[in-house]
Structure 1
Amino acid sequence: MTAPIEVSGQSAEAQPEAALTGLSQKAIQGRSLGQIAWMRLKRDKVAMASGVLVVIFVLAALAAFLLDRVFGVINPLAFNEDLLDASTQMPITGWGGISWDHPMGIEPGYYHGRDILTRIFAGSWISLLIGFAATMISVIIGAVLGVIAGYFRGWVDTVISRAMDMFLAFPLLLFAIALAGVIPDDAFGLTGDWPRILVLVFVIGFFNWPYIGRIVRAQTLSLREREFVDAARSLGGRSPYILFKELLPNLMAPLLVYSTLLIPTNILFEAALSFLGVGVRPPTPTWGGMLSDATSLYSVDPWFMIFPGLAIFVTVLAFNLLGDGLRDALDPRAR
Structure 2
Amino acid sequence: MTAPMTTAGNAPEAPASPSPAKTIEGRSLGRIAWTRFKRDKAAVAGGIVVILLILLALLAGPLESLFGLDPDQPNTDLLDADLGGLPLGDWGGMSADHPLGIDPLQGRDLLARVVDGSWVSLLVAFGATVLSNTLGTVLGVMAGYYGGWVDTVISRLMDVFLAFPLLLFAIAISASLQGGAFGLHGLPLHIMVLIFVIGFFNWPYMGRIVRGQTLSLREREFVHAARSLGARGPFILFKELLPNLVGPILVYSTLLIPTNILFEAGLSFLGVGIQPPQSSWGGMLADAKNYYQVDPQYMVVPGLAIFITVLAFNLLGDGLRDALDPKSN
Q: TM-score, normalised by structure 2?
A: 0.91
Aligned equivalent of 1:279: 273
Aligned equivalent of 1:86: 81
Q: What are the within-5 Å matches in structure 2 for residues 300-319 of structure 1? A: 300-319=294-313
Cα separation, 2, equivalents of 1:33 and 1:302: 48
Aligned equivalent of 1:299: 293
Shift of 1:333: 2.4
Q: Work out whether 1:47 is the aligned partner of 2:74.
A: no
Aligned equivalent of 1:114: 108
Aligned equivalent of 1:207: 201
Larger Rg: 2
Shift of 1:65: 4.6
Q: Work out whether 1:77 is the aligned partner of 2:92.
A: no
Q: What are the within-5 Å matches in structure 2 for residues 249-288 of structure 1? A: 249-288=243-282
Aligned equivalent of 1:227: 221
Cα separation, 1, equivalents of 2:67 and 2:304: 26
Task: Give the counterpart letter for 1:333 in structure 2.
Answer: K
Q: What are the within-5 Å matches in structure 2 for residues 1-335 of structure 1? A: 26-65=22-61, 74-88=69-83, 89-108=85-104, 111-333=105-327
Cα separation, 1, equivalents of 2:132 and 2:176: 24
Shift of 1:71: 10
Shift of 1:320: 0.4
Q: From the superposition, tell whether residues 206 and 73 of structure 1 become closer, same or farther in structure 2 (CA, over 3 Å).
A: farther
Q: From the superposition, tell whether residues 37 and 80 of structure 1 become closer, same or farther in structure 2 (CA, over 3 Å).
A: same
Task: Give the counterpart letter for 2:118 in structure 1.
Answer: S
Please tell me whether the aligned partners of residues 151 and 220 of structure 1 are also in contact (alpha carbons under 8 angstroms).
yes
Deviations 1:232-269 (A, max 9, x none): 00111110000000001000000000000000000000
Shift of 1:83: 1.1
Name the SS for the 1:190 alignment partner. coil
Aligned equivalent of 1:14: none
Cα separation, 1, equivalents of 2:77 and 2:200: 46
Cα separation, 1, equivalents of 2:182 and 2:21: 67
Shift of 1:51: 0.2
Please tell me whether the aligned partners of residues 185 and 193 of structure 1 are also in contact (alpha carbons under 8 angstroms).
no
Q: From the superposition, tell whether residues 78 and 24 of structure 1 become closer, same or farther in structure 2 (CA, over 3 Å).
A: farther
Deviations 1:95-125 (A, max 9, x none): 11001111110112xx210111110110000
Shift of 1:190: 2.4
Unaligned 5+ segments in structure 2 are 1-13
Please tell me whether the aligned partners of residues 117 and 281 of structure 2 are also in contact (alpha carbons under 8 angstroms).
yes
Task: Give the counterpart letter for 2:167 in structure 1.
Answer: L
Task: Give the counterpart letter for 1:55 in structure 2.
Answer: I
Q: From the superposition, tell whether residues 64 and 139 of structure 1 become closer, same or farther in structure 2 (CA, over 3 Å).
A: same
Q: TM-score, normalised by structure 1?
A: 0.89
Cα separation, 2, equivalents of 1:117 and 1:226: 53
Deviations 1:163-206 (A, max 9, x none): 00000001110011011112134432223211011011001001
Please tell me whether the aligned partners of residues 277 and 289 of structure 1 are also in contact (alpha carbons under 8 angstroms).
yes
Please tell me whether the aligned partners of residues 185 and 196 of structure 1 are also in contact (alpha carbons under 8 angstroms).
no
Please tell me whether the aligned partners of residues 180 and 278 of structure 1 are also in contact (alpha carbons under 8 angstroms).
yes
Name the SS for the 1:251 alignment partner. helix
